[in-house]
Amino acid sequence: MDALVLALLFAAQDASAPAADGAPAIDLAPAIDNAGDAVPATEPSSRTDAAPPASPAAPPLPSFAIARVRTHDPVVALTFDACATLKQDNGFDREVFDILKREHIPATVFPTGRWIEAHPAEAKELAAQTWIELGNHTYSHARMTKIPRNKARQQLARTEAIIDGLGRKSVAFRPPAGAWNRSVVRLAAEQHLPTVEWDVVSGDAGGYIAAKTMVATVLASVKAGSIVIFHINGRGPHTKEALPDIIRGLREKGFGFVTVSELLQLPDAHPVSARPSPFGYPPLHEKAPTPENGAVNAIPPG
């Protein structure tokens, strides 16, 4: 497929650009993972019809949620969500933190604003680590495709302000449950954030999947440019058991570890779109959510 046809870069980084719902600057369908239709983030020709980014140094953002990148570099980004809602604080899995620190694994952590507020000391500790990047996971773990646009915008902005308060800038937006559409991606772009999901689900959320299975799944699934999702808020009771073997196994396969922003900035990185998921993805152990089966309320991987 012609990459130019799939040139999906748009100019929503410019906060002055019109922010009409569902009105991307370039109205083309996103490339879908596994279809081999990665969209070059830095392809000069793909910028032809896009307005310049807000900063001359910043490449335009894709108009889709990124599942992984295509790259020849054998690197992988391990990511850790720290979800909390208005009703559920969750926790902090210090053993996961300690493993990452001990093993010198750069990591990208996606807290919700509520998680930071509920765990101020731990949030400060995360923010103080040079090997950790922070991302925006909304304020209260909102399903961004299901709430009004102004509320969704507040979810992002409020959390950006909270992360600013930690002295850090977030590097990406991760939609709770992986629920995204182009309108949501555009809202994140208003905050200069790429929307970043994952292509490898560890399956740690809820503790339904044994550590041994998690290790096998991740090691069999990771490819160059993969993004793996875990949890560091105690939602993954087996994460600490699986992580050492996952790290060891990936090293044995020749993979190195990078943060999400490092992954996106690789010279040959071509972002690959996640599958559109207006309701969010189901956990590995559940069937796909639909409005009919009510599974949209199940706790999803993101």
Footprint on this chain of Zn ion (rule: CB under 5 A): 81, 83, 176, 302
106 vs 302, beta carbon nearer Zn ion: 302
Separation CA 25–CA 238 (nearest Å)? 43
Helices (H) and strands (E) in the chain, counts: 8, 8
Specify the residue, 176 or 225, whose C-beta has the smaller distance to Zn ion.
176
For residue 231, the minimal CB distance to Zn ion (Å) is 7
- Min. distance of Cβ 138 from Zn ion in angstroms? 8
275 in helix, strand or coil? coil
Token output for 76: 């992988």
Toward Zn ion, which CB reaches closer, 10 or 281? 281
CB of 302 to Zn ion, least distance (A): 5
How far apart are CB 275 and Zn ion at their closest, in Å?
A: 18
- Nearest residue (CB) to Zn ion, 64 versus 281: 281
Hey, which bits of 177-302 come out as E strands?
200-201, 226-231, 256-257, 270-273
From the CB of 99, what's the least distance to Zn ion, in Å? 20
Residue nearest to Zn ion (CB): 83
Residue 97 or 173 with smaller CB distance to Zn ion: 173
How long is the chain? 302
- Least distance to Zn ion, CB of residue 207, Å: 15
Q: For the residues of 196-229, what is the DSSP string, one character each?
A: B--SEE---GGG-S-HHHHHHHHHHH--TTEEEE
Residues with Cβ within 8 Å of residue 263, at least 6 apart in sequence = 69, 71, 75, 77, 225, 227, 269
Strand positions, DSSP E, 49-167: 66-70, 75-82, 107-111, 132-134
Nearer to Zn ion, 46 or 79 (CB): 79
